[in-house]
Structure 1
Amino acid sequence: MNKPMLKLRLAAGTAAFGLLGLTGGAMAQEGGGVLLEEIIVTAQKRVQNLQDVPLAISVVTGAQLEQANINSAEQLFQRVPTITFRKGNTNKDSAISIRGVGTISFASGIEPSVSTVIDGVVYARTGQQTADFLDLERVEVLRGPQGSIFGKNASAGVVNITTRDPGSTPGGHIEASYYEGNEYRVKAGVSGPVSDNLSGLITAFYSKYDGNGKNVFNGNDINGYERWGARMKLVLDASETVRLTAIADYAKANDNGFADSIGLVFPSAFNQQIFLPSLAPLTPGPRNKDIDNDLDPRTRDRNSGVSLQADFDLGAVALTSITAYRHWYNYQQRDGDFRSDGPLYVATGVAAGDNRSHDRGDLDFNQFTQELRIASTGNNFIDYVAGLYYYTTKEVDFFNRTVTACTATTLPAENGLLPCRPGASTYVTNEGNADFTTRLKNYAAFGQATVNFTDDFRAIIGGRYTKDKVSFDFERRSTSTAAFPGVRPYFAADGSTKKDGVSGNAGLQYDFTDEVIGYATYTRGYKGPAINVFFNMIGPDTLPISAEKADSYEAGLKTRFAEAGLMLNLAAFKTTYNGYQANTRELVEGQVVTRLTNAGSVSTRGLEADFTWAATSDLEFNGGVAYTKAKIDRFKCPATEPTCADAINGKPLPFAPKWKGSVTADWRLPVELPDMDARLSNTLQFTSKQNFDLTQNPYAFQAGYATWDAVLSFVTHDDKYRVSLIAKNITDRHYVIGRIPNGTAFMRQITPRDAERYFGASVRANF
């Protein structure tokens, strides 16, 4: 590649962050010692050295993720201490948090607080990017509000994913992996030049896992998946100053979970006499992963998209255009009563929860985005990047809830409860069917400048003007004319809200030495307005929810002691969110419901450290640790519970452990093998106690835990072949990533794949 195009390739595109890979990144230098490679980054969409960027950023390379059997965004929390992941019953309801802040909601009229960007394209929903990783170059996590360049739905941070470019020479690979529990994965791809100016890459994958639990009702597996897909990238060097990059991807998933396993049943007459006996042979408990459902959990997912990036090198400036369209289809079904044999008793009094409830729904989601950007090149007194952004989405949802209850019986009471049996009792089935469409539009103009007062001292200032509009139409048809357990009467509404917002950042940066720089920044984060559009919405839900705003202060040190092989970055931060958009629980018509609202103000503060240390040319350590205190400052109680703030204010935010850390040691073993190296990678990860419920339910906590993973690889000297033996969670430490209170009845939990010990092997051939 010629030098103008190389400069263009680095300067244009989305925020990309390169960090030293764990294997082979260090090199010996004359006179002894270990030298770290220089790292070029474009985290501010301009060419810079990593250590010159005044941002707190974490990264994991694609090779590291593949080696550790981390295959999707929901597992990133294992390697990035500042991330936590909330897994819903379906990926539609999942969410990422950074520094303890994220958006957890079932509504279609709200965006996440953590923005996901893949190859320069913003993904509007967290569920869109839960598909398997494919052809990753790296995953970068920009921590804290991003007010200027990444201003779209990034009030808590950005997960920026970059895929690999085609190779300059013909080549390819095939990789096959197998893990205990009948989990296997196959990936294959080819890459290289197609003509003098055109190169291409195409990779496909297939993966399948039976699951880590059973439905005792029918013996079917749960919490597993079957997924396949492909990604293609074409790069055309149209001239010495013009480059075009076209990307197309498609992924399909058929999952049988995650299911609502039952961890704890609270004492009550109904639970002791009816609920617990009906679950047999299932036994609820803290390690339970099984269910007793007459409707199997199921999620079907299709995710596809195309994008075209055009880069123009005009000498003093670089122009970039990114045009993208994405489509997402998602189907979900779940058993809402968590058992297979209800109803057994008249649904009155103590047995009010004895009914059968089944949920089914689907969504069809489309988005179009366009970004135009100009950036200065070279070294100037003022370096800048500026641009325009447009974004529009349309989501069409259908949701059905069918509920059967026993309303009368001729049988005598048993232990104070009226039993129901076919032929002697009256059963009533009601259902609600909701159709709703939600549209979001966003227009933005942004810019950021760095003023280089001297070689060592500079100022950064940026801003973003955002215009958001959210609109919806909704109709729920119900067979019940009055409130029925889980199903509300007919309701129809439409409406919209729009808001203009301003966000931005300002800061100072000073180079104390060539190896130590310091920075201090202020960022105004912003996430646009929302509407609580969901199946059981009623009048109050049609009211607009105000924008979420953040004020963030951060100071950091970036150090690089090249001859010692050490890179250490430190950050201290404090962020306050006003108008925090979150779900709260309240009692409506005798039912506990969640309602999206401006829940009040919350804050997060803490200290973070990231490091890479090449102890020798054969041994490297890489990791980070984060102390985060994310808490509720002022909670806005629902009208039905006006004093709830007394028990909530000052308490921790959900999915916000105080301490998280991980360290990976990668060691080229000192053993003599014919034509190959042996490499041992060990990763330790620790998470302290965390809460899963905004209202501080005492049963919605996960105790602190630590896990240990290891990979032993044999790699030929020419890197053509690799065989890896993989051990996950070696100490068999059980944990959950969700505890969900369900009124006063019982508590559910979600157990991930990696919450138990298992082993596997992987074979890769490069050609």
Structure 2
Amino acid sequence: MRINIKNISLVASCVLSVSAKTALAQQLEEVIVTANKREQSIQDVSIAMTAFSGAEIADYGWSDVTQIANQAPNVDIKYAWGNSMPIYTIRGVGMNSFQASDTPSVGLFIDEVFQTSLVSMGAQLFDMERVEVLKGPQGALFGRNTNGGAISYLSAKPGQEAEGFVRADYGKFDRLEVEAAYGGPISDTVSARTAIYSIQQGEGYVHDRTSGKDLGEVDINAGRLQLRWQPSDFLDANLKIYGSRDRSQPSVFQHIGFWSKDFAGGVPGANQYCSSFAAGRAPNPSECVDVLGYSDTDGRDYAGDYTNRLDTPINAGAKLKNDSYGATLAMDFNFDSFTLTSITNFQQYDRSQPKESDANPLLFVDLVFNSDVSQQSQELRITSATDGPVSWIAGIILSNDEVSESPPRTIYADDYLGVRASVDYTQDRDSYAAYAQADWRISDEWALSVGGRWIDESIEFEEETAFLFPPDFSYDERLVLVTIPAPAFGVDGKLDSSEPTWRVALDYTPTEEILAYASVSRGYKGGGFNAGLITNPRLALPFDPEQITAYELGVKSQLIDNRVTLNAALFYYDYSGLQAATPQFDPVAQSPLNFLTNLDDAKITGFEAELDWAVSTAFRIQAGLGWLDTENNDPGVNFDGVFGRAPRVLPNAPEYNFNLALTYDIDLSSGARVRFFGDYVWQDDHYKEIVNNLEVDSQYQVNSRITWLSPDSRYSLSLWGKNLTDEVFVHDTLTDPVGSGWGVYVNGMPRTYGVSAKYNFL
């Protein structure tokens, strides 16, 4: 079909023109962000970004951090292992990993504090002021590990006006969500805010045929207390203390087999792969099995035969034991010409997570993670506060984090290899950085921004990998395979690295409503060590840093008296040293094992556009479109797939993605209001893993909410539904077709629905 761009433009112009003449005047509210570490309108920032206010998060009904990807073009967020450790990918840049010692390629910040480990990103999306999604390398102001971008979660702060709310949702699967916050003045100079959050889901949505139970119960509680002291215009200090507790059931997956039954049974000369997979289709369970000859053939996407071994932690009664706590002290000292900001943070996260990861009733590749993560950081920055053509910011940041598996991680392979494995490691990392950025308003129309950062990291790593044997599987009688450091193999367990990152942007503002920009930026993510099942010391050699050079052209515009916001960006990434978990042959296990390593290079080209249109005082449309063309140019033959025909594209990066949200308000004669809200997200075919073994078909979700609001806006009642079409939305895949003929789908929840009540303290 031939598309006539001129006709599309003409139609769009006519629609906008008619809307301008017939709709009641309604301007969009200005969105204030802190992408440049100072408050600015999002339309004045020459960075492609998406922001969500606390009110928008409530409209969407989001309850965890992954859901913001639904309305942010070219953003993918999924949970590794189902319900913990979110994996962030922005514009095709991200890192699939389930190791607590690994840091992401997208920088994650909670109230301006960098999260060094993915395990700390659990129950955070409550009482939010705003969430900002910055796209492209952000190494200048946000620091290390921001090759893909940065996501900032900003909590609602205490103020001098008393206000708050309490919300309760109840829905399918006996799910109860409670969120409450209240804040206000304690004295003329001191204010406080407290917030609590709880999710209790009494019924599971995946049936376990082995135990006869439904799995997927949720038990999460979190809280936050803030004290703010403002004795004068000179000082603004905010102390935040927070914690969370998760005793949910571990999520379980849907089994995939890749081998033919004859091959799994050991028949000489049999074809290894089942015919459906060999033909390029999704494996058919009726003919496809794993290495143990198992297949899940009932055709149900939310049922399986799961391990229920009461003599191990891998059973239907297993619960997570994830606890976190921490504190952040942020202080602003306002001088005449600049502001000095200090941000001090400490946090601790302890994870104990049994994982029935293989969706096979036997002890195949089941695990128990035991992670102990602590981090401390101190940031000092100075921000200019005077009017003039030049504004600037400069700062330093010092941080330390330590990650260990304590007690050791256990891998249960009793029925597969006849042994268990234990992994015991400690990683200690120090990081130092200095950064600066200057923005020069050359004229009314032109501005130049130049920023840079120097990053220095030092890592010390120690590990012991051992096998445990039947019948007792005792740690006292374990066979130690590898100990790191291993001087005989040239592995000293130390890695020092340093690198500059930078960004240069040129802005052009021909009118107050239009900003066009061009930028070049350099991103950097430090190297590290594989903290997994290392059965050969050479596999413990560190992987190197990765770098991205990004080129971007963008435009931000406000049209029709600020009733339409239309932003777009075109970008190209030169991606070198891409860190990825890929199969490498292990001579001890005599099979491929996944280890982080560096790929040769990758290329990414893409486009995205976002529309926010106040059609009238009652009707609002928000939409986003993303396009990505990714290439994995590593010469490794494993990326060609088992049949040599894989497309070698980057994971979690569908070629096209689209999102839409519609809001319609009806004013009632009583003064009350009814709001109709719906949102939609669609993803093109794509892969979830760097080795393109199994393609996920295009998929979508539809959600809606109908809300009644009282005349004084204090009370609201809602009916809501999520995944209304009951789509089986695949969030992730884990596959090993070559070594074990095994894989799993990580499926999102089926259709849910419920009611919500909220009361605002005004």
TM-score normalised per structure 1: 0.85
Pairwise CA RMSD = 2.8
For 2:516, which of 518, 521, 534 is the aligned residue? Answer: 518
From 685, 690, 695, give the equivalent of 1:689: 685
Residues 1:631 and 2:631 are matched in the alignment? yes
Out of 169, 191, 197, the position equivalent to 2:189 is 197
Give the match's secondary structure for 1:616. coil
Q: For the residues of structure 1 that align with 2:541 and 2:435, how far apart are their CA atoms?
A: 30
Q: 61, 82, 88: which is aligned to 1:96?
A: 88
2:457 is aligned to 468
In the alignment, is the contact (CA less than 8 A) between 1:252 and 1:301 conserved in 2? yes
Contact 2:86 2:121 in 1 (8 A): no
TM superposition shift of 1:647 = 4.2
Deviates more, 1:217-226 or 1:577-586: 217-226
Q: Residue deviations 1:687-712, cap 9 Å, x none?
A: 11111122211xx2111122221110
- 2:8 is aligned to none
Change (3 A) 1:107 1:188: closer
Residue 393 of structure 1 pairs with residue 407 of structure 2? no
Q: Secondary structure at the match of 2:414?
A: strand
1:724 alignment partner in structure 2? 718
Structure 2 spans left out of the alignment, 5+ residues: 1-19, 266-285, 309-313, 486-492
Residue number among 668, 684, 701 corresponding to 2:665 in the alignment: 668
CA distance in 1, matches of 2:631, 2:503: 24
Q: CA–CA distance in 2 between the matches of 1:657 and 1:382?
A: 41
Partner of 1:241: 234
- In 1, the alpha carbon distance for the partners of 2:530 and 2:321 equals 24
The alpha carbon displacement at 1:62 in A equals 2.2
* CA drift at 1:685: 1.2
The CA deviation at 1:283 is 3.2
* 1:405-424 correspondence to structure 2 within 5 Å: 405=415
Partner SS, residue 730 of structure 1: coil
Check 1:273–1:649 CA distance in 2 against 1; reply closer, same or farther (3 A cut): closer
Deviation at 1:540, TM superposition (A): 1.8
CA distance in 1, matches of 2:701, 2:413: 41
Quick check: 1:148–1:504 contact (8 Å CA) kept in 2? yes
Report deviation, 1:537.
Answer: 4.9
Residue 411 of structure 2 aligns to which amino acid in structure 1?
Answer: R
Match of 2:368 in 1: 360
Aligned residues: 694
Instruction: Measure, in 1, the Cα distance between the counterparts of 2:631 and 2:291.
Output: 40
Q: Would you say the 8 A contact 1:507–1:519 is kept in 2?
A: yes
- Aligned in 2, Cα 1:461/1:356: closer, same or farther, shift over 3 Å? closer
Matched, 1:287 2:301: yes
Moved more, 551-560 or 82-91: 82-91
Deviation at 1:151? 1.7
Q: Take 1:643 and 1:207, find their aligned partners in 2: how far apart are those partners?
A: 43
Aligned match of 1:741 = 735
Partner of 2:557: 559
Partner of 1:417: none
Q: What corresponds to 1:545 in structure 2?
A: 543
CA 741–402 in structure 1, closer or farther in 2 if over 3 Å, else same: closer
Q: Secondary structure at 1:77's aligned position in 2?
A: helix
Q: Amino acid of the residue matched to residue 665 of structure 2? A: R
Match of 2:72 among 80, 89, 103: 80
Written as runs of structure 1 = structure 2, the 5 A alignment for 1:198-213 is 198-209=190-201, 210-213=203-206
Gap change, CA 1:539 and 1:226, over 3 Å in 2: same
What do the CA deviations read for 1:355-383 (whole angstroms, capped 9, x no partner)?
A: 65542230111000111000111332221
Instruction: Give 1:314 deviation, angstroms.
Output: 0.5
CA shift at 1:742, angstroms? 2.7
The question of 1:751 aligning with 2:747 is answered: yes
Write the distance in 1 (CA, Å) between the matches of 2:698 and 2:170: 30
Which residue of structure 1 lines up, in the alignment, with residue 6 of structure 2? none
1:377-388 correspondence to structure 2 within 5 Å: 377-388=385-396
Query: Residues 146-295 of structure 1 correspond to what in structure 2 (within 5 A)?
Result: 146-209=138-201, 210-264=203-257, 266-269=259-262, 270=264, 283=297, 285=299, 287-294=301-308, 295=314
For 1:620, the equivalent position in structure 2 comes to: 620
State the match for 1:404 in structure 2.
414
Distance across 2 between alignment mates of 1:329 and 1:253: 10
Measured against aligned partners, the alpha-carbon deviations of 1:575-606 in whole angstroms (never above 9, x if no partner) come to: 12100000001332323310110022112211
- Aligned match of 2:269: none
Secondary structure, aligned partner of 2:320: strand
Letter matched to residue 118 of structure 2: T
Distance (Å, rounded) in 2 between the aligned partners of 1:647 and 1:273: 22
Q: Which amino acid aligns with 2:726?
A: D
CA offset at residue 127 of structure 1? Answer: 2.3
Q: Could you report, residue by residue, the CA deviation over 1:91-139 in whole angstroms, capped at 9, with x for unpaired residues?
A: 5554110011101123454311011111111111222113241111111
Moved more, 622-631 or 534-543: 534-543
1:137 to 2:133 alignment = no
Alignment partner of 1:470: what SS?
strand
- TM superposition shift of 1:321: 0.4
Residues 259-300 of structure 1 show CA distances to partners (whole Å, capped at 9, x for unaligned) of 132145542234789969999996354724434222236432
Farther off after superposition, 431-440 or 309-318: 431-440
SS of alignment partner, residue 239 of structure 1: coil
Alpha-carbon distance change, 241 to 277 in structure 1, aligned in 2, over 3 angstroms = closer
Does the aligned pair in 2 maintain the 1:601–1:635 contact within 8 Å?
no
The secondary structure found in structure 2 opposite 1:117 is strand
SS in 2 for 1:669: strand
- How far off is 1:197 after superposition? 0.6
* Partner of residue 118, structure 2: 126
Q: 1:513 to 1:187 in 2, by over 3 A?
A: same
Q: Which one of the candidate residues 323, 333, 341 is aligned to 1:302?
A: 323
Q: In structure 1, how many angstroms separate the alpha carbons of the residues matched to 2:160 and 2:645? A: 57
Q: Secondary structure at the match of 1:531?
A: coil
Pick closer, same or farther for the CA change 1:631–1:323 going to 2, 3 Å: same
Equivalent residue of 1:401, what SS? strand
Report the Cα offset of residue 663 of structure 1. 1.4
Q: How much has 1:182 moved relative to structure 2?
A: 1.3
Could you say which residue in structure 2 is the equivalent of 1:492?
483
CA 1:221 to 1:69, structure 2 compared with 1: closer, same or farther past 3 Å? farther
Tell me the percent identity: 23
Match of 1:530 in 2: 528
Aligned residue number for residue 38 of structure 2: 46
Q: What is the SS of the residue equivalent to 2:386? A: coil
Cross-structure match for 1:370: 378
Cα separation, 2, equivalents of 1:714 and 1:642: 53
Contact 1:60 1:79 in 2 (8 A): no
Structure 1 pair 763–648 and aligned structure 2 pair: CA distance change class (3 A): same
Indicate the larger mover: 164-173 or 213-222.
Answer: 164-173
Amino acid in structure 2 at the alignment position of 1:585: P
CA distance in structure 1 between the partners assigned to 2:197 and 2:534 by the alignment:
38
- Number of the residue aligned with 2:420: 431
CA contact (8 A) 1:212 1:223 kept: yes
**Structure 1 counterpart of 2:70, which letter?**
Q
| Distance in 1 of aligned mates of 2:639 and 2:721 | 50
Distance 1:528 1:337, change over 3 A: closer
Aligned to 2:271: none
Cα pair 2:208 2:303 within 8 Å, conserved: no
Give TM-score, length-normalised by structure 2.
0.86
1:444 to 415, 429, 433: 433
Is the Cα contact below 8 Å between 2:306 and 2:356 reproduced in 1?
no
2-structure distance, mates of 1:760, 1:460: 48
Q: Which amino acid aligns with 2:189?
A: N
